[in-house]
């Protein structure tokens, strides 16, 4: 048996830290709109949607709202998901990369507000530099 380790680094949020603000009804409504042909007989959020089909975890679902295509997700292999921005090398930076931390935070908060029910201050206070690891 072997073990894989990987680094999780960037600027963002551990979704476990803001789980108490999650509005499950908003998530269910969005999922039902995204998949109108799917028949849901239960709470969508607790169902198949975040167990690998079509999303690996909730952070991957949040990336659906990243119109700029600059955000990513990762998990630690134990079910803890991270929604984050990993700055590119200068020679790979896109024109739409954030120029300031506030610009990045505002953009991330605009995405988080779609499914979290709290004020922007709570979300902003949850954003931080992430440097941890995953194992699986």
pLDDT value at residue 4: 77
pLDDT digits (tens), the chain, 136 positions = 566 777 899 999 999 999 999 998 898 889 888 888 887 767 776 654 565 567 888 999 999 999 999 999 998 888 899 999 999 988 888 889 999 999 999 999 999 999 999 999 999 999 999 998 777 7
pLDDT value at residue 38: 80
Under a CB-based contact definition with an 8 Å cutoff, are residues 27 and 40 in contact?
Answer: no
pLDDT value at residue 35: 84
| DSSP for residue 116 | B
Beta-strand ranges (E) seen in 1-113 are: 5-14, 71-75, 81-85
Whole-number Å distance between alpha carbons of 116 and 126: 12
| DSSP for residue 87 | P
Which neighbouring-strand residues pair with 11?
85, 129
Whole-number Å distance between alpha carbons of 52 and 96: 29
Whole-number Å distance between alpha carbons of 49 and 30: 12
pLDDT value at residue 55: 81
R_g over Cα of the chain: 16
Expressed as residue numbers, the domain containing 53 is 5-135
Cβ neighbors of 77 (< 8 A, separation 6 or more) are 134, 135, 136
Q: What total of structural domains would you count in the chain?
A: 1
pLDDT value at residue 119: 92
């Amino acid at each position: 048996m072997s073990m894989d380790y990987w680094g999780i680094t960037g600027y963002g949020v551990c979704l476990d830290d803001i789980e108490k603000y999650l509005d499950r009804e908003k998530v269910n409504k969005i999922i039902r709109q995204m998949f109108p042909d799917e028949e849901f007989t239960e709470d969508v959020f607790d169902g198949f949607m975040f167990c690998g089909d079509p999303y690996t975890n909730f952070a991957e679902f949040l990336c659906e709202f990243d119109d700029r295509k600059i955000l990513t997700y990762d998990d630690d292999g134990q079910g803890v998901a991270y929604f984050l921005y990993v700055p590119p090398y200068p020679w790979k930076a896109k024109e739409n990369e954030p120029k300031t931390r506030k610009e990045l935070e505002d953009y991330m908060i605009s995405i988080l507000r779609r499914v979290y029910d709290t004020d922007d201050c709570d979300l902003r206070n949850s954003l931080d530099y992430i440097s941890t690891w995953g194992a699986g």
